[in-house]
Chains A and B, each alone.
Chain A
Amino acid sequence: MKLRSNVKIVLFTLVFVLFSIMSVQAVTLEVMDSVIVESPEREALLQIIENFEEENPDITIDYQGVPMNDAYAQIPTLATSGALPDVYLATLDFIGTFEDMGIATDLRDVFSQEYLDGFNQNSLSELTVDGKVLAHPFFVIPMGVLYRIDWFEEKGLTPPETWEEFLDIANELTEDTNGDGSVDRWGFAMLASRDGSGGSRFIQIFRTFGGYELRLNDEGEYVTDVNTPQGRNAFEFFTELNTEHEVVPPGPMEVSYGEALNLMVTNKTAMMVTGPHSIGGIIERNPELDGKIGAFPLPMAQDGGKHISVLNTYGHAINPDSDKKEEAAKFLKFLVNDESALLWNEMTGRMPTRTGLLQSPEVQDRPDLAGFVEAMDYAEPLPTVSYYSTIMTDILPSAYQSIIVGQATVEEAAERAEERIISLIEEN
């Protein structure tokens, strides 16, 4: 009898201890992100996570890194096997695919409308499909042109308004600086790689000529302007920077984002189309450039062109099958609160998405960000269709590459790109 009661006590104690352990165990939130594999973004993010976990001891963040160019192969693969994490990165070029696959929670069901209204509406619209808010904006990287202030001052140059002025400046800055008879500094770090880094930058240059790679017409149907005079002018100008004017380093098709950044870091080039996120990376690798980097909005074509910038909003989607949506929402809100967003902005240059912070003196008064802040005035969203990534990473890069290598004329390349885009529109 006594033995039985002892067994009961032991069992009760075990159950109690187990229950206690379970009740205090932190919920683990799985987050997949690409910025954590970059530097100095990693340090900034780890600091924010540490602050979050300190404030929320019941939630642990399990961060998984994935390079940006691989992310959108991994996410659908994980989705098909039901292994998606609770939270994962989402950007405008793939948000249509997320909607098509049904792998992003409509955040109107998670956050209040008042909270969502507090975001810069251009950035929110880049992550919205058919009225559904599919991702929580984390930061924006409005595209502009990064340039070397010291070299501009040396030559008495001022930021250009048009591409013609841009070309003059690029010519001026392309030179043999050590007098050995060969050019060792170029005006422009041209990204002509066949990937998202090259394609996304070209699209913005393309739009400054007045055309659209994909747009809705008056009948609400998608059409393309790649084979219009504006489109062909854009192809011609972009490729001639290499083939005719030689203001870019040799082998531009080998230059993706990393290589272009390297050209800026090693003082080989004076300008590069990119966003504020590059500033942190450049200065971290070459601290001597601190204070020597500035930005201006993308120039425009003289006839019928306009300044353009895409915000490139980077956000996070919540897995619709996750049972930790509440914790996910808490974490995402923490990422963009004043303290986190300012820390993030200060360390990485990536700009906040909350309207209040965008207007704050910490962001507005930073001289290196001034050009990007100005570029935000010209922000235009990209289409959020599921096949957009094919246009960005394959069709347009193939077109400009075929012109550069001389395989096709501008007209032939534009015609081929038009055919492929129309075929995509019809297929979808």
Chain B
Amino acid sequence: MKSLFSLKTEHKYGYIFILPVAAVLGILIIYPLLYGFYISFFQTNLINRWNFVELENYINIFSGNSEFVNSIFVSIKFTSVVVLSHLVLGLLLAVILNKKNLPFKELFRSILMIPWFFPEVVVALLWRWIFNSMYGVFNYLLMNLNIIEDKITWLSSMRGAFFVVVFTAVWKGYPLILVMILAGLQSIPEELYEVAKIDGANSFQTFFYITLPNLRSVLLVSLILDTVWWFKNFPIVWLMTRGGPVNATNVVSIDIYQTAFQSFNFGKASASAVIVFFICLGIAMIYKSMITEEEM
């Protein structure tokens, strides 16, 4: 094996130049990952108790009526609905905003981006109050419009709470997809549309045979980012429902947080986090396998 000293000068410089970035990545990403993986084999409070328990934490999180397994299913359901909604909404709005003759285009673009500017904590608290059973504006509006007679307890019913957290996540997250798709749309050569028009393609055919195929790589990258982001999202659900009522919105990040910081079972929490890491990695790899070399 060659040592650094025996490498050609230009190779040496190459390694030296990437060393700072590699060190930063190592400290900020690789070390915490490995440390988390290491902790998952212990029953520990991270201070004075370090009992090596082999795979016991992994066995425990999948045994019996596992809260963790339930939370994985809730996360999958939550993420699927949110990402699909982002995709549909983002695509629809991007296509509209990409129209050349749309009046007040810049104004609409700015307004539609507003949810992205708010921190998640603000968004969660804002919508929690809007959907509040007693004082919420949403119930007030529905009652004034004679749509409902009695107040709906949105966050106190299992379906209502799930709907509200999904709605909030969709509202908060669609601008990212919108911007990425809009950028993708603007990079499609105009000539393609002109040729399609000459060939007599209608707008439906143009969308499915020109727009969508050209957006493929943008859509896949957006989906990877969005899926991983919402699969492990914590603040919105925690601040709105704390995972309740019962376990209706108990996504995996909440389960891990409670295991670590309410039960102080850091080993089990780390084991759960390792599983989530591999799930996210798997999702990313599936999406990535769908992107060809040329598209990257």
A interface list, Cβ under 8 A from B:
72-73, 76-77, 79-80, 97, 100-103, 182, 193-195, 249-254, 263, 268, 386-387, 389-390, 393-394, 397-398, 401-402, 404-405, 407, 416, 419, 423-424
Identify which of A193, A250, A405 contacts B151 (C-beta below 8 A): A250
Interface centre among B64, B150, B154, B264 (most CB of A within 10 A): B264
**Contact (Cβ within 8 A) A405 B157:** yes
A-B contacts besides A101-B47, A253-B245, A401-B244, 18 pairs, CB < 8 Å:
A72-B262, A97-B45, A100-B45, A182-B150, A194-B244, A195-B242, A250-B151, A251-B153, A251-B155, A251-B156, A253-B156, A254-B153, A390-B263, A404-B156, A404-B245, A405-B157, A405-B245, A416-B65
Q: Is B283 an interface residue (CB 8 A)?
A: no
Report the separation of the CA atoms of residues A102 and B50 in the bound assembly, to the nearest whole angstrom: 13
Would you mind naming 9 contact pairs between A and B with Cβ atoms under 8 Å apart? A72-B261, A73-B257, A77-B261, A193-B242, A249-B134, A251-B156, A268-B134, A398-B247, A402-B245
Identify which of B134, B158, B243, B263 contacts A251 (C-beta below 8 A): B134
Q: Is B100 an interface residue (CB 8 A)?
A: no
**Contact (Cβ within 8 A) A80 B46:** yes
Q: Is B48 an interface residue (CB 8 A)?
A: yes
Q: A401 with B246: in contact, given A76-B46, A251-B132 (CB under 8 Å)?
A: yes
**Contact (Cβ within 8 A) A254 B132:** yes
**Contact (Cβ within 8 A) B134 A390:** no
Q: How far is the CB of B270 from chain A (nearest CB, A)?
A: 13
Residues of B within 8 A of A254 (CB): 132-133, 153, 155-156
Q: A103 with B246: in contact, given A249-B134, A251-B132 (CB under 8 Å)?
A: no
**Contact (Cβ within 8 A) B132 A405:** no
Q: A402 with B133: in contact, given A73-B261, A182-B150, A253-B156 (CB under 8 Å)?
A: no
Q: Is B49 an interface residue (CB 8 A)?
A: yes
Residues of A within 8 A of B264 (CB): 76, 97, 100-101, 386, 389
Residues of B within 8 A of A76 (CB): 45-47, 261, 264
Q: Is B206 an interface residue (CB 8 A)?
A: no
Report the separation of the CA atoms of residues A52 and B292 in the bound assembly, to the nearest whole angstrom: 70
**Contact (Cβ within 8 A) A389 B263:** yes
5 nearest interchain CB pairs?
A251-B133, A73-B261, A251-B153, A194-B244, A251-B156
Q: How far is the CB of B142 from chain A (nearest CB, A)?
A: 14
**Contact (Cβ within 8 A) A394 B262:** yes
**Contact (Cβ within 8 A) B47 A80:** yes
Q: Is B80 an interface residue (CB 8 A)?
A: no
Digitize B175-190: 1 where CB-to-A-CB distance is under 8 Å, 0 elsewhere.
0000000000000000
**Contact (Cβ within 8 A) A401 B245:** yes
Report the separation of the CA atoms of residues A398 and B151 in the bound assembly, to the nearest whole angstrom: 24
Report the separation of the CA atoms of residues A254 and B261 in the bound assembly, to the nearest whole angstrom: 22
Identify which of A102, A195, A250, A416 contacts B153 (C-beta below 8 A): A250
Residues of B within 8 A of A424 (CB): 263
Q: Is B85 an interface residue (CB 8 A)?
A: no
**Contact (Cβ within 8 A) A390 B262:** yes
Residue in chain A with minimal CB distance to B161? A253
Residue in chain B with minimal CB distance to A399? B246
Identify which of A182, A249, A253, A419 contacts B244 (C-beta below 8 A): A253
Report the separation of the CA atoms of residues A59 and B257 in the bound assembly, to the nearest whole angstrom: 37
Q: Is B233 an interface residue (CB 8 A)?
A: no
Residue in chain B with minimal CB distance to A186? B134
Report the separation of the CA atoms of residues A100 and B133 in the bound assembly, to the nearest whole angstrom: 41
Q: How far is the CB of A385 from chain B (nearest CB, A)?
A: 11
Report the separation of the CA atoms of residues A100 and B247 in the bound assembly, to the nearest whole angstrom: 29
Q: Is B258 an interface residue (CB 8 A)?
A: yes
Identify which of A77, A389, A419, A423 contacts B262 (C-beta below 8 A): A389
Digitize B235-252: 1 where CB-to-A-CB distance is under 8 Å, 0 elsewhere.
000000111111110000
Residues of A within 8 A of B258 (CB): 390, 393-394
Digitize B252-266: 1 where CB-to-A-CB distance is under 8 Å, 0 elsewhere.
000001100111100
Interface centre among B64, B153, B243 (most CB of A within 10 A): B153
Identify which of A79, A195, A405, A419 contacts B246 (C-beta below 8 A): A405
**Contact (Cβ within 8 A) A407 B246:** yes
Identify which of A268, A394, A405, A419 contacts B156 (C-beta below 8 A): A405
